Amino acid sequence: MGTEPLLHWTDSNTGEKRRLVASGAWTANNATGLEKLIDAATAGNDAEDAVVIEMAAVTEFDTYGAWLLERLKRELTAHQNSNAMVDGFEISGLSSEDHLLFREVERVNKTKSAPLRRPFGVMGFFETTGKAIVELVHDMRAFANMFGALVVAFLSLLTRPSNFRFTTAVHQLDRVTFQAVPIILLITFLIGAIIAQQGFFHFRKFGADLYVVDMVGILVLREIGVLLVAIMVAGRSGSSFTAELGSMKMREEIDALRTMGFNPVQILILPRILILILAVPMLTFLGSMASLYGGGLIAVFYAGMSPELFMERLKEAISLTHFQVGMIKAPFMGAVIGIIACTEGLRTKGSAASLGEQTTKSVVKAIFMVIVLDGLFAIFFASVGM
């Protein structure tokens, strides 16, 4: 701990500089006591008198003590004019080493930092819009780079199939597909039941109960089934991919792979995206069936419709085309989710905050792109008559 620090004013003759005598160990170990001494010494200091701080009796002096001395200086000279700031303040008794340390600390934060400029009005709107456009361009470029790297890795894999990480693919298939089945079935079942219940509740007013079966069947097979599954996969597996790759980037494992001559895209990213392309259609099929089953239960137990009537009406309402539309969308959505998730993972910087930020961006961007892609497919299928 060293000698206990002290700081006190001494009486001075009229016309002489006021003296503040310091002693003891001015180190970080005595931080609490030093803070109190400085507060007491500067309390009510509104005078413009010249001041001398005598440091000859200080036994230990570190960076923390130097900063406290600088703070003491600033507070004592706060009420003095500009000339007194230079000529009316003196520090005596510091050794040459301690004096150099104090001078280094003295140069820190001499000027106040400029206040953050907050855009407002029309200029603020244009500035925010411009930043969003630049960010969008960067995202599109990163997406294109990742897509190109995946194409190159896939073509290389076709020439050398033995390089494919089959064990990694099986592991990802288990995580992304089989472990996700329970939650996918539960959510899609509930959504199908809710859609059917709301449909019967409102359509019953017009005597159109049978058309609820048409609505549930077409909506689930064409839109809701694949969209719900894609959103859940983006939140569940996409975030996992981003966190995994981001952690590897932070620990420099990806750089280590490059140093050893391996292609990280082929080893880490390609198996994940290929599995997503397979997993989303499989989960979409299971989810659609669960959603239709949930709608059927509501039709039987809530609307009083017989199971035979529900199945007959469902066969009349839906066709193979409706099923094909949903299944065609699924692999594309899986690929988009995988590319975005892996791209955001590789953009992680070296901090935990960056990892969390990129994971959040991954989920948000993936869900947004899934919905946009679903809208584009809807326009496309409408134009080709599907």
Q: Is the pLDDT of residue 128 over 70?
A: yes
Whole-number percent of the chain with pLDDT over 90: 25
In Å, what is the CA distance from 176 to each residue of 58, 291, 297, 304, 362?
66, 20, 28, 38, 16
Which H or E element spans position 171?
helix 166-176
pLDDT at 74: 78
Interior/surface letters 98-126, b for 16+ CB within 10 angstroms, e for the rest: beebbeebbeeeeeeeeeeeeeeeeeeee
6-106 — its CATH code?
3.30.750.24
- What's the pTM? 0.67
Structure tokens at 136: 């969008």
pLDDT at 85: 41
Q: Is the pLDDT of residue 190 over 90?
A: yes
Give per-residue pLDDT as tens, 233-290: 999 899 999 998 888 888 888 888 888 888 888 888 888 899 999 999 999 999 999 9
pLDDT at 86: 43
Model confidence at 80, pLDDT cuts 50, 70, 90, reads: low
Residue in the block written with tokens 């570190």: 62
The CATH 3.30.750.24 portion of the chain extends over 6-106
Structure tokens at 293: 């089953």
Identify the bridge partners of residue 6 per DSSP, sorted by sequence position: 23
Averaged pLDDT for residues 358-373: 92
Instruction: State the alpha helices, DSSP H only, in 17-94.
Output: 31-42, 63-76, 82-87
pLDDT at 291: 93
Q: How many helices (H) and strands (E) does the chain have?
A: 16, 4
Give per-residue pLDDT as tens, 21-78: 888 888 888 888 888 888 887 776 555 566 788 888 888 888 888 888 888 887 777 6
Q: Is the pLDDT of residue 84 over 50?
A: no
Give per-residue pLDDT as tens, 321-360: 888 998 999 999 999 999 999 999 888 887 788 888 889 9
pLDDT at 367: 93
Give per-residue pLDDT as tens, 139-179: 888 888 888 888 888 888 888 887 778 888 888 889 888 99
